[in-house]
């Protein structure tokens, strides 16, 4: 084990080594910028504690930020310690939430907490709404309004709910309950406090009650109850050392939990408070969850008081992740913020490339540009890159739609970090199923899926019976699922015994589809005749979409959840703006081109085809092949990219209203903007080698999301030199081989970059991708751009 440890320590620089091998007894803060090896130090320190200080694995607690980080830590240790007898799986490692959940599972009985499930955010929303709806007017009459917050968004609900209960914004209630919980305040404690707000106190109590009825704990409860448990019972007394990654994103209760997990005796040298934390105040982006970078100071004070001796602080200044250009630009961004300790990180990489920046005219154009660049990188002969070297990071989840759409269209394999790909989300699949049903009269899968979603009271048995009956009908020569279903309602089928009520339900379902199809065929005729101007066309399409959304019952189903509703809106937006291209004749899935009927050429069918949902088997095979060679592009929100790194990072959407986000601008205060800036900083510092930034500004063209100014963060970066792309870098044999060694950590073999036919190969491979591509680059931004901006290289306007 000595050797193992030597190997680990040999990889470190001097300060990292100091941090890793600091005596286990003590309190250590490692405060340092991105990519300086904080997480590496934390992992190595766990190995040091296990091997050198011989702390048994189950006496070590490590909190990381994501499940991925926890897995990586365990894997790394397992591979390092494979030859030793240490059982790495015994280490208590995970996010605060998962650790607390496990502790509650083990010892919750003591608090009377047993066999609980976790309520995710959606469950919690649902319960809150139920709770509000269940309140009597009498109860509501006596209430005041909720306490004030920094930003109060008052959004009266529409619909048939009681007017009084709808006067309360559930989001606000949720936030305020969460705030209380994350400061460690239970509902009965709050009720007793002199300054409590009557409404909030009632909601808090009732909400807790509902959770309990359903045997649920919400995320905040996990922490709160675990805190109550460990302060009331000495269940975690055996813990010897607590390590915390991403400390800047801890909130009050997490800080308190850390103290409690680590609690020892200042006078008993065999049991001290032993803590190692790593973090970077500049990367604190969870203030909306009440995280506070001030926890660094709080921790200092806490332990100074307890031990009369300060925490040991070690800082790291060598950056092993990014090139000097990437570090320069990130530092420049952060210097726009006041009250900040200026950092000077030294890049340890040899080569550097100027970042790319472009401004485009719409989200769609921007997505096209991003995907064009990705294809470009991948088209290099013997490209040193894989799809999995690339990440696209955005501020808000809904921004993925445009990008995903283009990725799907180009057949670029990708995946979403934390979260489902847009087109796989439940609400999106559901609305598309209905669009499919309206578009095609013979799409069996879509018919079967929509029959009972939203629930219409068909049981599984009935659906199975319908399925069987459909088969028989088809055998009997009905030419479509639609007509077979119609036959069933009219009672021409003897096999299927449907109750009168079920028949009625089925009949109204079919009537609705019939109505939508009629509307579609009228619209189709008008579109084909060209009698509609684009505005009229768009509004008629919206009408059709609304009809389908409302009458399917999906609106009822999804309007409760703001995110689901936003996603549906995105589909609608795309649907209304879609312009079929002639070469994009749909290939009805399962059928071949020759079997296409007129039915499959309608606007709706073309739309569904265009979003790439009808993959042919060949497409699938092709995609799998691509994936197995090159992995997948990562698509993530900036928040989800915490602690991760990629050779190539795209940060699109650098426009006012997107980054900084609209709500932060509306907030008006400098804190909200500072948080957005740190968010940008986190995004930029994920990049190792190549950084692509872009924005879009559209001048009053679209009906949705009008975004007309380049982000203030970009605007203020005077004196930064950007390039238009990395083509020059890619065209140099020298650079390519260097890039290759930098990214793959080994030099390329001699014949990998055949210089003589390099350009021929390059051109050949690129041609299919750039054929017919045009990007609308925003002239306006060129005019308003600071003089120092350099837009070199070729434009993208007519590459074909």
272 binds, among Mg ion, ligand ATP, none (CB under 5 to 8 A by kind): none
- Contact indicator for 681, 669 with CB cutoff of 8 Å: no
Stretch touching Mg ion by CB under 5 A, among 39-47, 325-333, 739-747, 782-790: 39-47
The secondary structure of 709-742 as a DSSP string is SB-HHHHT-TT---BS-SHHHHH-HHHHHHHHHH
Quote the DSSP letter at residue 63.
E
107 binds, among ligand ATP, Mg ion, none (CB under 5 to 8 A by kind): none
- Contact indicator for 733, 755 with CB cutoff of 8 Å: yes
Task: Find out whether the peptide bond into 79 is cis, omega within 30 degrees of 0.
Answer: no
Taking CB under 6 A as the criterion, the residue among 40, 187, 272, 425 binding ligand ATP is 40
Please name the residues in contact with 678: beta carbons below 8 A apart, sequence gap of 6 or more: 282, 283, 284, 285, 334, 337
Quote the DSSP letter at residue 488.
H
* 39 belongs to the binding site for Mg ion (CB under 5 A): yes
Least separation, in Å, of the C-beta of 738 and ligand ATP?
A: 18
Stretch touching ligand ATP by CB under 6 A, among 6-14, 164-172, 337-345, 750-758: 6-14
Question: What gap in Å lies between CA 159 and CA 560, rounded to an integer?
Answer: 11
Stretch touching ligand ATP by CB under 6 A, among 33-41, 84-92, 565-573, 752-760: 33-41
Residue listed under structure tokens 């790593």: 278
* 643 belongs to the binding site for ligand ATP (CB under 6 A): yes
Phi-psi region of 53 (alpha: psi -120 to 50; beta: other; left: phi over 0): alpha
Q: Which of 217, 254, 63 has the alpha carbon at shortest distance from 127?
A: 217
* 640 belongs to the binding site for ligand ATP (CB under 6 A): no
724 binds, among ligand ATP, Mg ion, none (CB under 5 to 8 A by kind): none
- Tell me, residue by residue from 276 to 315, as one string, x for binding to ligand ATP by CB under 6 A and - for no binding: ----x--x--------------------------------
* 37 belongs to the binding site for ligand ATP (CB under 6 A): yes
- Contact indicator for 366, 356 with CB cutoff of 8 Å: no
* 586 belongs to the binding site for ligand ATP (CB under 6 A): no
* 12 belongs to the binding site for ligand ATP (CB under 6 A): yes
Torsional sign, CA 143, 144, 147, 150: positive
Stretch touching ligand ATP by CB under 6 A, among 9-17, 71-79, 182-190, 304-312: 9-17
* 35 belongs to the binding site for ligand ATP (CB under 6 A): yes
Residue listed under structure tokens 């509501």: 140
In the bound state with Mg ion, the residue whose beta carbon lies nearer, of 43 and 720, is 43
Tell me which residues in 434-463 interact with Mg ion (CB under 5 A).
none
* 94 belongs to the binding site for ligand ATP (CB under 6 A): no
* 643 belongs to the binding site for Mg ion (CB under 5 A): yes
39 is in an annotated binding site: yes
Question: What gap in Å lies between CA 489 and CA 12, rounded to an integer?
Answer: 74
198 is in an annotated binding site: no
Least separation, in Å, of the C-beta of 32 and ligand ATP?
A: 6
In the bound state with Mg ion, the residue whose beta carbon lies nearer, of 12 and 200, is 12
Number of residues forming the site for Mg ion (CB under 5 A)? 3
Taking CB under 6 A as the criterion, the residue among 39, 64, 165, 170 binding ligand ATP is 39
* 76 belongs to the binding site for ligand ATP (CB under 6 A): no
* 66 belongs to the binding site for ligand ATP (CB under 6 A): no
If one counts every other C-beta atom within 10 angstroms of the C-beta of residue 54, the result is 10
Number of residues forming the site for ligand ATP (CB under 6 A)? 17
Which H/E stretch holds residue 408?
helix 400-410
Question: What gap in Å lies between CA 579 and CA 311, rounded to an integer?
Answer: 63
Ranked by CB distance to Mg ion, the top (closest) residue is 39
Number of alpha helices (DSSP H) and beta strands (DSSP E) in the chain: 34, 16
321 binds, among Mg ion, ligand ATP, none (CB under 5 to 8 A by kind): ligand ATP
* Structure token pair of residue 369: 């540009």
Torsional sign, CA 278, 280, 281, 284: negative
Taking CB under 6 A as the criterion, the residue among 1, 4, 9, 13 binding ligand ATP is 13
If one counts every other C-beta atom within 10 angstroms of the C-beta of residue 738, the result is 17
Residue listed under structure tokens 């009808």: 614
* 64 belongs to the binding site for Mg ion (CB under 5 A): no
279 binds, among ligand ATP, Mg ion, none (CB under 5 to 8 A by kind): none
User: What's the Cα-to-Cα distance from 30 to each of 94, 313, 400, rounded to whole Å?
Assistant: 20, 6, 35
If one counts every other C-beta atom within 10 angstroms of the C-beta of residue 556, the result is 12
* 478 belongs to the binding site for ligand ATP (CB under 6 A): no
465 is in an annotated binding site: no
Q: Please report, in range form, the residues annotated as the binding site for ATP.
A: 32-39
Point out which residues bind Mg ion (CB under 5 A).
38-39, 643
Q: From the annotation, which residues make up the binding site? A: 32-39
In the complex, the residues that contact ligand ATP under the rule CB under 6 A are: 11-13, 16, 34-40, 280, 283, 320-321, 643, 645
């Amino acid at each position: 084990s000595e050797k193992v440890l030597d190997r680990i320590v040999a990889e470190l620089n001097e300060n990292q080594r100091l941090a890793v091998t600091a005596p286990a007894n003590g309190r250590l803060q490692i405060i340092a910028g991105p990519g300086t090896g904080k997480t590496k130090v934390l992992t190595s320190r766990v190995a040091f504690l296990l091997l050198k200080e011989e702390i048994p694995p189950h006496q070590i607690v490590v909190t990381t930020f994501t499940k991925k980080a926890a897995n990586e830590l365990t894997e790394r240790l397992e591979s390092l310690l494979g030859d030793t007898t240490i059982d790495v799986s015994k280490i208590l490692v995970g996010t605060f939430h998962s650790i607390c959940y496990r502790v509650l599972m083990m010892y919750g009985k003591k608090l009377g907490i047993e066999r609980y499930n976790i309520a995710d955010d959606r469950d919690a929303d649902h319960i809150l709404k139920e709770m509000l709806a269940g309140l009597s007017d009498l109860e509501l009459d006596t209430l005041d309004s909720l306490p004030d917050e920094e930003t109060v968004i008052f959004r009266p609900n529409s619909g048939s709910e009681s007017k009084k209960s709808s006067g309360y914004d559930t989001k606000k209630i949720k936030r305020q309950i969460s705030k209380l919980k994350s400061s460690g305040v239970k509902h009965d404690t709050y009720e007793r406090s002199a300054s409590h707000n009557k409404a909030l106190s009632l909601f808090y109590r009732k909400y807790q009650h509902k959770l309990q009825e359903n045997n649920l704990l919400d995320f905040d409860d996990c922490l709160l109850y675990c805190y109550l448990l460990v302060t009331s019972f000495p269940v975690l007394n055996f813990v010897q050392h607590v390590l915390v990654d991403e400390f800047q994103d801890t909130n009050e209760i997490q800080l308190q939990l850390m103290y409690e997990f680590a609690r020892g005796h200042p006078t008993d040298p065999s049991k001290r408070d032993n803590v190692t934390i790593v973090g970077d105040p500049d990367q604190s982006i969870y203030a909306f969850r009440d995280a506070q970078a001030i926890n660094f100071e709080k921790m200092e004070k806490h332990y100074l008081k307890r031990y009369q001796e300060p925490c040991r602080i070690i800082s790291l200044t060598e950056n092993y992740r990014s090139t000097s250009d990437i570090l320069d630009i990130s530092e420049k961004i952060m210097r726009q913020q006041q009250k900040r300790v200026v950092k000077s990180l030294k890049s340890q990489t040899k080569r550097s490339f100027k970042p790319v920046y472009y401004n485009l005219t719409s989200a769609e154009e921007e997505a096209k540009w991003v995907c064009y660049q990705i294809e470009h990188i991948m088209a290099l002969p013997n490209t040193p890159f894989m799809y999995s070297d690339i990440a696209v990071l955005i501020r808000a989840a809904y921004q993925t739609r445009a990008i995903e759409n283009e990725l799907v269209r180009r057949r670029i394999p990708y995946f979403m970090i934390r979260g489902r790909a847009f087109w796989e989300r439940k609400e999106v699949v559901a609305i598309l199923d209905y669009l499919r049903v309206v578009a095609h009269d013979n799409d069996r899968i879509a018919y079967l899926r929509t029959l009972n979603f939203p629930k219409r009271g068909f049981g599984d048995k009935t659906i199975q019976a319908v399925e069987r009956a459909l088969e028989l009908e088809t055998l009997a020569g009905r030419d479509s699922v639609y007509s077979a279903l119609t036959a069933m309602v009219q009672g021409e089928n003897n096999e299927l015994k449907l109750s009168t009520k079920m028949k009625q339900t089925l009949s109204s379902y079919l009537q609705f589809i019939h109505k939508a199809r009629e509307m579609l065929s009228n619209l189709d005729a008008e579109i084909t005749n060209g009698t509609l101007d684009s505005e009229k066309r768009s509004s008629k399409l919206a009408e059709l979409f609304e009809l389908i959304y409302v009458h399917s019952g999906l609106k009822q189903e999804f309007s409760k959840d703001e995110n689901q509703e936003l996603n549906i809106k995105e589909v609608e937006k795309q649907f209304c703006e879609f312009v079929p291209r002639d070469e994009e004749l749909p290939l009805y899935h399962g059928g071949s081109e020759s079997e296409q009927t007129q039915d499959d050429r309608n606007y709706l069918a073309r739309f569904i085809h265009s979003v790439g949902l009808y993959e042919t088997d060949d497409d699938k095979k092709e995609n799998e092949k691509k994936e197995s060679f090159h992995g997948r592009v990562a698509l993530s929100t900036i928040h989800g990219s915490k602690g991760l790194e990629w050779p190539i990072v795209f940060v699109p959407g650098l426009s006012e209203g997107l980054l900084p986000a609209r709500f932060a601008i509306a907030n008006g205060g400098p804190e909200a903007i500072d948080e957005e800036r740190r968010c940008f900083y986190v995004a930029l510092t994920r990049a190792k080698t190549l950084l692509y930034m872009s924005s879009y500004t559209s001048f009053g063209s679209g009906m949705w999301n009008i975004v007309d100014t380049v982000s203030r963060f970009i605007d203020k970066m005077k004196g930064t030199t950007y390039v238009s792309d990395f083509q020059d870098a890619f065209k140099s044999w020298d650079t390519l081989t260097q890039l290759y060694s930098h990214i793959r950590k080994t030099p390329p073999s001699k014949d990998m970059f055949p210089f003589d036919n390099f350009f021929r190969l390059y051109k050949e491979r690129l041609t299919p991708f750039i054929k017919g591509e045009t990007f609308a680059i925003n002239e306006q931004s060129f005019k308003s751009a600071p003089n120092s901006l350099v837009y070199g290289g070729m434009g993208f306007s007519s590459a074909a």
